[in-house]
Each structure stands twice: as structure tokens, then as C-alpha cells.
Structure 1
């Protein structure tokens, strides 16, 4: 969000600090149970000063959602744009992109999963649309893999839910993950589990990971 006219260079830094603090509080207590007074105490501001930075409590919730969805969708669009890459390679890259956001924004993800229904009006419509866009990107790649004969033809909706559900609760334990359980490693394991289960014929996970490594470099170049 652009800095409003008349605000100094420290305005955006302070506003981001407030969003971080709000994400922590909402993750601990829930959005509905967290009052403005608690937010003020957490960031050391009076109500007037707090509203100067955030506009409203709901705006904080919108900002937290955006911190998850905006970078995730930006990365996902770069991944799916690599139309010459195999669909399983792109699905594996989507998996890693999602897990990287989860690991980087654990408090935000908790709020994203539990409190997004409190967003109202146009913001809610946009949020639901962004969530649907990511699911559609997953669905299109799973469908492509089935059409290519790489994955067995099964209920498409169920297959998409399997992919999403492999990832959706990682935030609940990621903060206690053992050393080495990086987003890349988890994505490799999650996708190997799913792809083996749905594969129309045996495939090499080592070959897949090598293709992913090369494609990852292409995604980084597109995103830069």
C-alpha cells in the first residue's frame, strides 16, 4: 500500500511493525477476541495514533491476508507460466512456494486460516477470489497431468483437495519442525507421496527433483 500524502519515511516502517504485532495477537487470541486496547498496548500507541496507521481493525486483518496471498500468487503465476515444464514439476514448485510462505509467516498463516471469514465487503470478495485463483492453478496442473497420462484419471476435485490438505496444517507444527525440515524437503516429500499414489506408472523422484532444481532457477529469474 502506498504511503499516504504527508506521512514521513518512518510511517510505513511503523505500520508494518503494527501489522506484525497484530498478526501475533490474532494468532494467540483470535481476531474477534482481540480488542483495540490490547493492540494499543502491544504497539505502545494510543487509539488515535493507532487508527492513524491502520484505519480500522479490519484493515489489519486485510493486510495480514495480503501478506500471505499477494506473494504466494505472484510466485504461483511465475511457476504456472512455465508452460514447457511438466505439470508435476510445476505442482512440486507450487508446493514449495506455499510452504515457503507458511514457514516465513507462521502467525499470518494462522490468522489466514482461522479468521479470514471476518473480512467483509469488497475486501472479502477480493480475498475469496485470490484463494480461488490459487486453487484453480493447482486444479489446472493436476488436470493437465491427468490429460497427459502421467497421473491416473480420478475425481479432479478430490485430487486437488489431497494436494491442498497435504499442506494446509503444516503451520500448526512448523515452529517445532526438526532441523532439515525445510520447505524444499517437505515439498519433495509431500509431492512424492501424492504423485506415487496417483501415478499411472512408476516414476523417479530423483529425476523429478533434478527437473525441479532447474525449473526453480527459471522461476527465480521470472520473479526478479
Structure 2
């Protein structure tokens, strides 16, 4: 399909990421070649290696860009004014919506994380842990103040919610009966029900 020449081309890193995301989602990470990625992006292999260094670095960035977005948004919710119950609910719903909005990225990552080398694997785990700890801190804040029950350890509450989030890519369909916000509202409400004293 020819590109409209009146429209400016997307920057090379964005084109590479878009091509890699589409190909990894369609074919799988291990069955996608660097040549296919650069041909789809309309760039050279030299450009890929200049911006990303390797196919593995592209995989890492597919996941990292969503996690960066979610971390920034969680930080905003955690620091906002207002009751902890509202802040936790907003954060719990937001991670569902942003995951659904980036479902290809999430499914690629969970299917392909084992392809990362030890250093990249460690980096990703550290970033995910930072996110989960910030989320857990909201649960603990509510438990300390008596707004939430402390009968269930905060770690288990966090695992419960994120287990649901991580499985979205296995069942959610955009043409299904629920919108992303409806799914988010249901899961956030389930979380808060589990925390009620």
C-alpha cells in the first residue's frame, strides 16, 4: 500500500517498532527475521542496529514503552489528592485499559519474554517489580488507615489483580461484548470488593 507523500514519514524508531510489533504479533518473535522487520519498516538493517542494536532490543522496547506509560500514570494516581480508595480504583482500572489498548505489546511480551538474555530479563523484572511495589503501597496505605481490610496480605492482593491483567491477552477481543473501560471497571470493582473491611 503506497504511503501518501503529503504526510510526513514517521520517525525511523517508530516505524521499526510498529513493524516489529505487527510481525511479532502475527508470526511470533522467534519466527520473525530482522530482514522482514526492516523491509516492513522501509529502512535498512543499519538503521535497526543504529537505533536498537538487535532484534532482542526491539522486543524489550515493545514491552518497555507500555510499562513506562503505565508507570507514569500510576505515579500520577498515587500522588493525586483524594481518598486512597479512589486512587487505587483509578490505578487498577487504568492498568486494565492501557493493557487492552496495547494488547499486541502485552501478548508479544508474555509469549516471548523467555527470549530475552539474562541482563534484559533482569531489567524487565526490576521495572515490573517497581510498578507492583508502587501499586502495593496504595493497598498498604488503605490497610494502615483502616479503609481496606488487612486480612489478605497486600502482596497477594496485587498478585490477584495483576494475574487478571496479564491474562487479558488470552481472552479479550475488541469486537466482544465489553469495552476496555467496562472490563476495567469490573476488575477494579472486584479488587475493591476483596479489600472491603
Residues 14-93 of structure 1 correspond to what in structure 2 (within 5 A)? 14-82=12-80, 84-93=81-90
SS at match of 2:137: helix
Corresponding position of 1:128:
125
Q: Which runs of 5+ in 1 are unaligned?
A: 1-9, 201-224
SS at match of 1:176: coil
Corresponding position of 1:207:
none
Distance 1:193 1:100, change over 3 A: closer
Deviates more, 1:33-42 or 1:48-57: 48-57
Cα displacement (A) at 1:73: 0.7
Question: Of the candidates 127, 135, 139, which is equivalent to residue 136 of structure 2?
Answer: 139
Whole-angstrom distance in 2 between the partners of 1:52 and 1:164? 35
Corresponding position of 1:112:
109
What is the alpha-carbon root mean square deviation over aligned residues? 2.5
Distance 1:121 1:168, change over 3 A: closer
Whole-angstrom distance in 2 between the partners of 1:140 and 1:52? 39
Whole-angstrom distance in 2 between the partners of 1:78 and 1:53? 30
Question: Of the candidates 160, 177, 181, which is equivalent to residue 162 of structure 1?
Answer: 160
TM-score, normalized by length of structure 1? 0.72
Q: Which runs of 5+ in 2 are unaligned?
A: 1-7
TM-score, normalized by length of structure 2? 0.81
Whole-angstrom distance in 1 between the partners of 2:125 and 2:10? 26
Whole-angstrom distance in 1 between the partners of 2:170 and 2:118? 29
Corresponding position of 2:4:
none
Q: Is the 8 Å Cα contact of residues 77 and 90 (structure 2) preserved in structure 1? A: yes
Paired residues, number: 189
Distance 1:86 1:44, change over 3 A: same
Whole-angstrom distance in 1 between the partners of 2:93 and 2:191? 14
Corresponding position of 2:183:
186
